[in-house]
Amino acid sequence: MRRDVGFLATGVLPHLALVPVWAWAWTFADRTGQWIPALLVAAPLVVLGAPLLTAAQRARHRVLLGVDVAPTAPTAADRTSWAAAARRLPGRLSAAQTWRRVGYHLLLGPLLAAAESLVLTAAAAGLAGATSYGWAWAVPAQARQSRLGYAAQLPCYTLGGLLLLGALPWLAGAAARGESRAAAALLGPGRSERLRRLQQRVDHLAESRTGLIEAVDAERRRIERDLHDGTQQRLVSLAVNLGLVLATTPDLPDGARAAVAEAHLEAKQAIAELNDLVRGLHPAVLEDRGLDAALSGLAARLPLPVRLRVELDARVPPGVESVAYFVVSEALANVIKHAGATRTEVTVRQVGALLRVNVTDDGLGGADPSAGTGLGGLAKRVGAVDGAFHVSSPVGGPTTVTAELPCAR
Amino acid sequence: MRAVIAEDSVLLRVGLVKVLEMGGFQVVAEAGDATALLAAVERHRPELALVDVRMPPSFTDEGVRAALEIRRSRPGTAVVLLSQYVEERYAADLLSADTSGVGYLLKQRVADVTEFVETVRRVAGGGTALDPQVVAQLLLRRSNDPLERLTPRERDVLALMAEGHSNTGIAESLTISESAVAKHINNIFAKLDLPVADTGHRRVLAVLRFLGTSRS
């Protein structure tokens, strides 16, 4: 309450700041009949005073009420130079926000000042009434008896004062809220300005999200390249050398031969595992030949039959290809791990500006995207490119995973 | 026999040289990219080129393109492509031009040195060798084509044919008699509608048909 009252108290003077200006102009014009000089003096004062008062009000709202009245036009550009500011002056004068501001200070200001004074008066009156017994003691006993009607009136004053003080938090709060709402509406950005800013923010977010997705994609490619050029080749080389030992030294002691053969086998298994892992990151053939080729390679390494249909007239953007590949690869990995299926079907087709990816299996069903399987990650990856992701998996099957990815160029 | 090797990983190149030399080949040149490979083939006219699919500068399918170029300019050169991952699309590219004297294998097959050397010799002698992984995929994929009409045993036989095995080799792998293999092969030819006249090439055509089904 104290905060609200303090806030209201500091509002009276700035709200009345322009009253002398227009009061003077009014009386001057009324007395002399010369409206033009009156306007010539008053108008610049109002136009120059409005931004200052706006800044003062904004600071007052922020410091005393903790409310941020959003600034209007981008202020950074305003400060570039006086010449630029002057060039923008006509535009600013005709802008709706300028008039909303002037209206706030010129017309609403005195009304707000009146409301503030009312609340402050109520506070003072309430305080005076509530403490009326104290005041009464200061008055000579005779006056107290005859004027104040000691017995009858003082209890009424006290009660009235207490009631006023009780209502004060509500009154002050309502007044402060009303005032900050008016300030936000008239000093803050207008509807079109807010929409424009929101749009800017959406654009910016979309841009930074695209950037992030591309960065992640580039990172996957880099890791794939590094592993391919480094670790994989070393492992293959190791396996080849072990194979050479086995093939060229027939007189190895039995124990040594067994150890080398074991190492040879291990190396080959490590290569196979690493291949699966690396290919899941971003296969080179995807970049090179597109989805159909990459997906058929993917299907090749699955231990169950995959019926694959890719109906595309042309390549889709690389980002979409990458997500589509990821969806199929993860969905098929899930099928292998959890579904107990005997066959799966993958279709990829372009429907208008959408790439529709469908993975169906004849497994157990009951897959739950929220249960922490790979499906949740898939939904996020699809969502990141504004795609739609859907899983239908009744208990008993079949499970169908669908992703629709926007792919307009 | 003379061979050139194109492989950008030096470590692996050394291993490949050793394996080929163990197999009785004479490695006359080593290249780190497709351009150097083509130059080496022009210069040395080898019987065999062992080529990595993914090489500088773009690290995608340089090896496939170089192999096609070699098949075009020096048809007598046998080419074996090696790759970390075998892609059926690359296999189809390679075999659509000519099926004799080409091979396409996973790099890790090199580790089984003896079998690898045998496979390479077969290709150098005009045979075909596809990695079992490609073959497996081609059998799994897309239905409603003539391959659907084959029995599982006929599919096994066709797969081994695609991998480049002779009738004897197929009979051994499947532990059946050679005459049974011949019977299966004749059934395959019939079911795939391959002309009887072309006896010499029917084996190759069957493999091609097999690959053709993968091309959409």
Using an 8 Å CB-CB cutoff, list chain B residues near A267.
111
Q: Quick check: A233 and B214 CB within 8 A?
A: no
| Alpha-carbon distance values, A220 to A107, A326, A334, A346, B93 (Å) | 62, 12, 21, 24, 27
Alpha-carbon distance A308 to nearest alpha carbon in chain B (angstroms): 6
Give dist(CA A348, CA A292) in Å, integer: 9
ipTM of the complex model:
0.79
Using an 8 Å CB-CB cutoff, list chain A residues near B16.
240
Using an 8 Å CB-CB cutoff, list chain A residues near B114.
247
What is the pLDDT, as a whole number, of residue A271? 94
Q: Quick check: A287 and B60 CB within 8 A?
A: yes
Q: Quick check: A241 and B114 CB within 8 A?
A: no
Chain B residue nearest residue A288, CA to CA:
B60
Give dist(CA B160, CA B122) in Å, integer: 14
Beta-bridged to residue A357, according to DSSP, are: A348, A403
Alpha-carbon distance B11 to nearest alpha carbon in chain A (angstroms): 6
For residue A252, give both structure tokens. 């190895």
Alpha-carbon distance A281 to nearest alpha carbon in chain B (angstroms): 13
Give dist(CA A229, CA A71) in Å, integer: 54
B141 at interface of A, judged by CB pairs closer than 8 A: yes
Using an 8 Å CB-CB cutoff, list chain B residues near A343.
none
Best mutation target among B5, B107, B148 (most A Cβ atoms within 10 Å) is B107
What CATH fold (topology level) applies to the domain B142-211?
Answer: Arc Repressor Mutant, subunit A (1.10.10)
Alpha-carbon distance A235 to nearest alpha carbon in chain B (angstroms): 9
State the burial class of residue A355 (Cβ atoms within 10 Å of its Cβ: 0-12, 13-18, 19+): buried
Chain A residue nearest residue B134, CA to CA:
A300
For residue A360, give both structure tokens. 């169906």
Residues 6+ apart with CB under 8 A from A153: none
**pLDDT tens-digit profile, chain A (409 residues):** 778 888 888 888 888 888 888 888 888 888 888 888 888 888 888 878 888 888 888 888 888 888 788 776 654 444 556 676 666 666 666 667 777 888 888 888 888 888 889 988 988 888 888 887 777 777 777 766 666 566 677 788 888 888 988 888 888 888 888 888 888 888 888 788 888 889 999 999 989 988 888 898 889 889 998 999 899 999 999 999 999 999 999 899 999 999 999 999 999 999 988 988 888 788 888 888 889 888 888 887 777 878 888 888 889 988 899 899 999 998 998 888 888 888 899 999 998 889 999 999 988 888 887 776 678 888 888 988 889 999 998 988 799 999 999 987 6
What is the pLDDT, as a whole number, of residue A368? 80
Give dist(CA A406, CA B4) in Å, integer: 47
B215, pLDDT greater than 50: no
Q: Quick check: A229 and B9 CB within 8 A?
A: yes
What is the pLDDT, as a whole number, of residue A80? 57
**Chain A with chain B: Cβ pairs closer than 8 A:** 124
Chain B residue nearest residue A310, CA to CA:
B216
The pTM of the full predicted model, rounded to 2 decimals, is 0.66
Using an 8 Å CB-CB cutoff, list chain A residues near B108.
236, 239, 268, 271-272, 275
Q: Quick check: B88 and A300 CB within 8 A?
A: yes
Other beta carbons within 10 Å of B209: 19
In the structure, what pLDDT confidence band is assigned to residue B216 with cuts at 50, 70 and 90? very low
For residue B146, give both structure tokens. 């003539």
A98 at interface of B, judged by CB pairs closer than 8 A: no
A309 at interface of B, judged by CB pairs closer than 8 A: yes
Best mutation target among A226, A229, A237 (most B Cβ atoms within 10 Å) is A237
For residue A248, give both structure tokens. 């060229």
Using an 8 Å CB-CB cutoff, list chain A residues near B113.
240, 243-244, 246-248
Chain B residue nearest residue A264, CA to CA:
B111
Chain B residue nearest residue A239, CA to CA:
B111
Beta-bridged to residue A359, according to DSSP, are: A346, A401
Q: Quick check: A297 and B9 CB within 8 A?
A: no
Q: Which residues of B104-140 are buried (b: 16+ CB within 10 A; e: fewer)?
A: bbbbbbbbbbeebbebbbbbbeebbbbbebbbbbbbb
Nearest by CB to B137, from A228, A239, A296: name it: A296
Best mutation target among B5, B7, B8, B9 (most A Cβ atoms within 10 Å) is B9
Task: Give me the DSSP letters along chain B.
Answer: -EEEEE-S-HHHHHHHHHHHHHTT-EEEEEESSHHHHHHHHHHH--SEEEEESS-TTTSSSHHHHHHHHHHHH-TT-EEEEEESS--HHHHHHHHHH--TTEEEEEGGGGGSHHHHHHHHHHHHTT-EEE-HHHHHHHHHS--SSGGGGS-HHHHHHHHHHHHT--HHHHHHHHT--HHHHHHHHHHHHHHTT--STTHHHHHHHHHHHHHHTT--
A342 at interface of B, judged by CB pairs closer than 8 A: no
Nearest one of B120, B101, B105 to B19, comparing CA atoms: B120
Q: Could you state, in order of their start, the residue ranges of all structural domains in chain B?
A: 2-131, 142-211
**Which of A298-302, B101-105, B208-212 is least confident?**
B208-212
- Write down the CATH superfamily of domain B2-131: Response regulator (3.40.50.2300)
B6 φ/ψ angles, rounded to the nearest 5 degrees: -120, 115
Is A134 in a helix, a strand, or coil? Answer: helix
What is the pLDDT, as a whole number, of residue A75? 45
Q: Quick check: A239 and B134 CB within 8 A?
A: no
What is the pLDDT, as a whole number, of residue A101? 81
Which of A:213-272 have CB within 8 Å of B?
A: 225, 228-229, 232-234, 236-237, 239-244, 246-248, 264, 267-268, 271-272
Nearest by CB to B140, from A288, A292, A299: name it: A299
Best mutation target among A223, A231, A240, A282 (most B Cβ atoms within 10 Å) is A240
Using an 8 Å CB-CB cutoff, list chain A residues near B12.
233, 236-237, 240
- CA A363 to mean position of chain CA atoms: 40
Using an 8 Å CB-CB cutoff, list chain B residues near A233.
9, 11-12
Higher pLDDT, B155 or B143: B155
Residues 6+ apart with CB under 8 A from B168: B178
**Which of A14-23, B25-34, B131-140, B197-206 is least confident?**
B197-206
B133 at interface of A, judged by CB pairs closer than 8 A: yes
**Which of A100-114, A265-279, B113-127, B186-200 is least confident?**
B186-200
Chain B residue nearest residue A227, CA to CA:
B84
The DSSP element (H or E) to which A27 belongs, if any, is helix A19-32
